[in-house]
Chains A and B, each alone.
Chain A
Amino acid sequence: GENVEQHPSTLSVQEGDSAVIKCTYSDSASNYFPWYKQELGKRPQLIIDIRSNVGEKKDQRIAVTLNKTAKHFSLHITETQPEDSAVYFCAASVGGSYIPTFGRGTSLIVHP
């Protein structure tokens, strides 16, 4: 089955800095890659996703890049703010069946 590795497990940055979280996947058939943000005590919520026919996608301060050859994808957050502090999860799945495999999460801490 699919295996998703996520790094780092903890990321601490100063407000205004950029943050990058990286994930690798094992199944070359995976073609859908969502990212979820989970604030403390809350539910995971989708923040951005990318499909395998696209190399990069942006939405304001967040972007996701995908390298199918290397089987890795990354979340980029620019101009970080304290409200970006949360746990971020990546996931990978094969379209059609959509049984996603999640990474173990990255705890992002943005210091004011």
Chain B
Amino acid sequence: NAGVTQTPKFQVLKTGQSMTLQCAQDMNHNSMYWYRQDPGMGLRLIYYSASEGTTDKGEVPNGYNVSRLNKREFSLRLESAAPSQTSVYFCASRNRVRTDTQYFGPGTRLTVL
């Protein structure tokens, strides 16, 4: 049982490049989330998916898109990366039925030059 996994762990992009961050969970959770973490700013919600087939914007969605591919996988795409998107990105999942506990992935450290 791997929990929540994310790929890649590190990535360096040039301004304007695109990339997709991958997230998968094997806990059969319904809800999945993408956060970014910047120094002194806590965890800010980018997008979330309450259940398979649905996605909604969070606090800071501009410049990002998401896809809930199936119940296990939730990807985050940067279409045209900007230096302001340099951050650590965390994926999380939650079993909405049994508990409110969120389980986080190990994070992706992204640098945009």
Q: Which residues of A contact B (CB under 8 A)?
A: 6, 9, 32, 34, 42-46, 49, 89, 93, 95, 98-100, 102-105
Contact = CB atoms under 8 A, between A and B. Distances in A.
A98 B94 contact: yes
B101 A103 contact: no
Nearest to A93: B100
A102 B43 contact: yes
Contacts of B100: 32, 34, 49, 93, 95, 98
Interface residues on B, range: 10 to 19
B60 to A, nearest CB: 12
B41 A34 contact: no
A35 to B, nearest CB: 11
B43 A44 contact: yes
Contacts of B31: 98
Given A43-B90, A43-B104, A98-B100, 14 more contacts: A9-B40, A32-B100, A34-B101, A34-B102, A44-B90, A44-B104, A46-B101, A46-B102, A93-B100, A95-B100, A98-B31, A99-B48, A102-B42, A102-B44
